[in-house]
Amino acid sequence: MNESSPAPPDPAGATERLPKALIDGGRAPGADLGRRLEPFLISVGALCVALLIFGVFLAVDGLNPLDVYAEMFRGAFGTWFSFQNTLQRAAPLMLTALCTALPAQLGLVVIGGEGALVVGGVAAAVAGLAMSHASPYAVLTAMFFAGTFAGGLWIAAVGALRAYRGVNETISSLLLAYIAIALMNHLVEGPLRDPASLNKPATRHIGELNMLGPMPGLDVHWGLFYGVIACLCGWLLMKRTVFGFAASMTGGNLRAALLSGLRVKRLIVVTCFLAGAAAGLAGMVEVAAVHGRANASLVAGYGYTGILVAFVARQNPLGVLPVALLLGGIGASGGLLQRHFNLPDASVNVLQGILFMVILAAETLYGRFSAWSFGRRSAPSRPVGAAA
Amino acid sequence: MSGALGNWGVPLAVAAGAIRISTPFIFVSLGECITERSGRINLGLEGTLVMGAMVGYGGSYLTGSPWLGVLAAGLVGVVLGGLHGLLCSRPRVNDIAVGIGLMLFGLGLAFFLGKPLIQPSAARLPAIPLGFWSQSSQVQDALRVNVLFIFGVLLAPAVSFALRRTRWGLIVRTVGESAEAARAMGYDVNRVRTLATMAGGFLAGVGGSFLSLFYPGSWNEGLSSGQGLMAVALVIFARWDPIRCLYASLLFGGASALGPALQAVGVTSGYYLFNAAPYALTLLIMVMSSSATRTSADQPAELTVAR
As a whole number, mean pLDDT of residues A153-159 equals 97
Averaged pLDDT, A11-27: 47
Please list the residues that pair with A295 across neighbouring strands: A202
State the amino acid at position A261 in one-letter form: G
Q: What is the pLDDT of residue B3?
A: 44
Is B80 domain-assigned? Answer: yes
Q: Closest CB to A170: pick one of B96, B269, B295.
A: B96
Task: Tell me if chain B has a CB within 8 Å of the CB of A161.
Answer: yes
Which pLDDT belongs to residue B68? Answer: 94
Q: What pLDDT is attached to residue A235?
A: 96
Can you tell me the ipTM of this complex?
0.87
Report CB contact under 8 Å: A384, B96.
Answer: yes
The yes-or-no verdict on residue A38 having pLDDT over 60 is yes
Coil, helix or strand for A154? helix
| The one-letter amino acid at B125 | L
pLDDT at B6: 62
Decide if A111 contacts A104 (C-beta within 8 A). Answer: no
Residue B156 lies in a domain: yes
What secondary structure does DSSP assign to B88-136, as a single string? Answer: HHSTT--HHHHHHHHHHHHHHHHHHHTGGGSSS--PPPPEEETTTT-S-
Q: What tens digit of pLDDT does each residue of A113-152 get?
A: 999 999 999 999 999 999 888 899 999 999 999 999 999 9
Any idea which of A179-193, A303-317, B268-282 has the lowest mean pLDDT?
B268-282
Domain of B194 in residue numbering reads as: 6-289
**Which domains does chain A show, CATH number per domain?**
30-381 (1.10.3470)
- Answer whether the bond into residue A322 is a cis peptide, omega within 30°: no
Least confident range of A44-53, A78-87, B140-149: B140-149
Residues of B in contact with A165 (CB under 8 A): 287, 290-292
Query: Nearest to residue B29, comparing CAs of B240, B194, B297?
Result: B240
Structure confidence at residue A378 (pLDDT): 43
H/E/C letters for each residue in chain B?
CCCCCHHHHHHHHHHHHHHHHHHHHHHHHHHHHHHHHCCCCCCCHHHHHHHHHHHHHHHHHHHCCHHHHHHHHHHHHHHHHHHHHHHHHCCCCCHHHHHHHHHHHHHHHHHHHCHHHCCCCCCCCCEEECCCCCCCHHHHHHCEEEHHHHHHHHHHHHHHHHHHHCHHHHHHHHHHHCHHHHHHCCCCHHHHHHHHHHHHHHHHHHHHHHHHHCCCCCCCCCCCCCHHHHHHHHHHHCCCCHHHHHHHHHHHHHHHHHHHHHHHCCCCCCHHHHHCHHHHHHHHHHHHHCCCCCCCCCCCCCCCCCC
Query: Residue A25 above 60 pLDDT?
Result: no
| B299 domain-assigned | no
Q: Tell me the shortest Cα–Cα distance from B88 to chain A, in angstroms.
A: 8
Q: Which of A179, A175, A195, A172 has the alpha carbon at shortest distance from A122?
A: A179
Q: How distant is the Cα of A67 from the closest Cα of chain B, in angstroms?
A: 19
Chain B interface disruption, residue of A38, A155, A171, most B CBs within 10 A: A171
B114 belongs to a structural domain: yes
Note whether B100 contacts A356, CB cutoff 8 Å. Answer: yes
Mutate which of A61, A175, A345 to test chain B, going by most B C-beta atoms within 10 A?
Answer: A175
| Nearest residue in chain B measured CA to CA from A173 | B283
Per-residue confidence at A217, pLDDT binned at 50, 70, 90? confident
Q: What CATH number does residue B18 fall under? A: 1.10.3470
Contacts with A14 from chain B: Cβ below 8 Å: none
Q: How many CB atoms lie within 10 A of CB B297?
A: 7
With cut-offs at 50, 70 and 90, classify the pLDDT of residue A24: very low
What count of other Cβ atoms lies within 10 Å of the Cβ of residue A218? 14
**What length is written for chain A?**
388
Confidence bin at A275 (pLDDT 50/70/90): very high
Does A170 sit within 8 Å of B305, measured CB to CB? yes
A336 pLDDT more than 50: yes
* pLDDT score recorded for residue A369: 64
For residue B167, being part of any structural domain is answered with yes
- A8 has pLDDT over 50: no
**Lowest-confidence range among A273-277, A349-353, B74-78?**
A349-353
In which element (H, E) is residue A113 found?
helix A113-130
Give the residue from chain A lying closest to B103, CA to CA: A353
Angstrom distance (rounded) from CA A209 to CA B219: 44
Contacts within 8 Å (CB) and 24+ apart, A242-246? A243/A267, A243/A270, A244/A105
In chain A, which residues have their Cβ closer than 8 Å to the Cβ of B287?
A: 161, 165, 167
Q: What is the pLDDT of residue B1?
A: 37
Signed CA dihedral, B296, B300, B301, B303: sign only: negative
pLDDT tens profile A224-267:
999 999 999 999 999 999 999 999 999 998 889 999 999 999 99
| Domain count across chain B | 1
Average pLDDT, chain A: 86
Cα gap A361→A355, rounded to integer Å: 10
Please report residues of B whose CB lies closer than 8 A to that of A388.
304-305, 307
Question: Please, which residues bridge with residue B129 across strands?
Answer: B144
pLDDT at B277: 86
Cβ-proximal residues to A8 (8 Å cutoff; 6+ apart), any chain: none
Gap between the Cα atoms of A188 and A129, Å rounded: 13
**Are A335 and A144 in contact, with CB atoms under 8 Å apart?**
no
- Residue A151 neighbours by CB distance under 10 Å: 35
CA atoms within 13 A on the CB side of A2: 16
B273 contacts in A (CB within 8 Å)?
182-183, 186
B105:A179 CB<8 A: no
Q: Which residues of chain B have pLDDT under 70?
A: 1-7, 292-295, 304-307
Which residues face A221 on adjacent strands? Answer: A214
Chain A residues close to B290, C-beta within 8 Å:
161, 165-168
Residue B296 within a domain: no
Rounded CA-CA distance B73/A316 in Å is 38
Q: How many Cβ atoms sit within 10 Å of the Cβ of residue A371?
A: 7
Mean pLDDT value across residues A71-80: 91
Q: Assess if residue B146 is contained within a domain.
A: yes
Q: How far apart are CA A94 and CA A229, in angstroms?
A: 10
Q: Is residue B1 part of a domain?
A: no
Burial class of residue A228 in the structure, from the number of CB atoms within 10 Å of its CB (0-12 exposed, 13-18 middle, 19+ buried): middle
